[in-house]
Structure 1
Amino acid sequence: MIINPYLNFNGNTEEVFNFYKAIFGGDFPFLMRFNQAPPESNDQEGCMDQGIPEDEANGIMHIALPIGKSMLMGTDVPSTMPQVTAGTNISLCVSVDSRADADRIFAALGEGGTVQMPMADMFWGDYYGMLTDKFQIQWMISYNEAQDGKAAQ
């Protein structure tokens, strides 16, 4: 099991991640913009609505930067969603080793919390869900059989 920080920004994720890349080095093994998401992603239950404003379509849907054995990940929050502030701009992304672990951990963290996206198979290949626990900590639970428990990208 691996825990990676996931950062949320109000439109400047690319600037932020280029800043971190200049400091820590490395390359982005994964970078997807909103306008690169497959059209069928709109049809998946729990998947973010792709109704992104045209002037934000080039925004970062997901980016990853390896730092040591961890993966720093991030996204731009579209203006159609609640904008982030200090405290809502970071989530903990747990990459687990099995679907059973994903379901168990998601259910336990969700007790007394709020589910944003129930566990479901996503277009990028992960079994994934999002929630805020009863202590207001944001969590992303992810399982990818192809990665077999390696750091999510």
Structure 2
Amino acid sequence: MATLNPYIYFNGNCEEAFNFYKSVFQKEFAYLGYYRDVPQSDREVFSETDDKVMHVSLPISKETVLMGADNKEAYTELLTYTNFSLIVHADTKEEADKLFNGLSEKGQIKVPMNMTFWGSYYGICMDKFGIIWKITIESEK
């Protein structure tokens, strides 16, 4: 079966964002590379500022890796992320609350964590980088 992993482009603050996610999820980077690490022969393709992130991967579970990069076009113009959100399926209410509280720190709570009419514990927040997160525990069958 194929695996789907989110890849987020940032406007020059990818490293700051991923250090934040690293602290919230309490995981370590599998890879963090900068444009300065690209071999000179490939510099025409990767011409972004040398101290910006070329690629970062943060495994947050056995199946899911959060990935990202800075993008020259992204950090020359302000991006507005309005067409997606990231959803995390927590194992416990405590884990859901911890993730929600961490991700919403200095961000915005859109829907506080609560029991929904469909039986899930669920909330929505926007982190301080403008990324929308949905945290949930699926309802019991």
Output the TM-score relative to the length of structure 1.
0.47
Provide the residue aligned with 2:35 in structure 1: 34
Contact 2:57 2:67 in 1 (8 A): yes
What are the Cα deviations for residues 34-77 of structure 1, in whole angstroms up to 9, with x where unaligned? Answer: 0101122257xxxxx2222xxx3110000000011200000011
Tell me how large the CA RMSD over aligned residues is: 2.5
Whether the 8 Å contact between 1:8 and 1:89 is mirrored in structure 2 is: no
The gaps in structure 2 that reach 5 residues or longer are 86-141
Q: Partner of 2:46 in structure 1?
A: 50
CA–CA separation in structure 2 for the residues paired with 1:2 and 1:80: 26
> Is 1:62 aligned to residue 55 of structure 2?
yes
- Alignment partner of 1:75: what SS? strand
Partner of residue 7, structure 2: 6
- In structure 2, the residue matched to 1:86 is 81
DSSP 3-state at the match of 1:3: coil
Distance change in 2, residues 1:88/1:63 (3 Å): farther
Q: Map 1:101-140 onto structure 2 (within 5 A).
A: none
Question: 1:20 corresponds to which residue?
Answer: 21
Code of the aligned partner of 2:67 = M
CA distance in 2, matches of 1:57, 1:24: 27
Q: How many angstroms does 1:25 deviate by?
A: 1.1
Structure whose alpha-carbon radius of gyration is higher: 2
Q: Is 1:26–1:66's contact at 8 Å kept on the other side of the alignment?
A: yes
Aligned length: 82
Supply the AA of the counterpart residue of 1:14.
Answer: E
Contact 2:10 2:74 in 1 (8 A): no
Percent of aligned pairs with the same residue? 34
CA distance in 1, matches of 2:74, 2:43: 15
* Distance in 1 of aligned mates of 2:34 and 2:3: 25
4+ aligned runs moved over 6 Å, structure 1: none
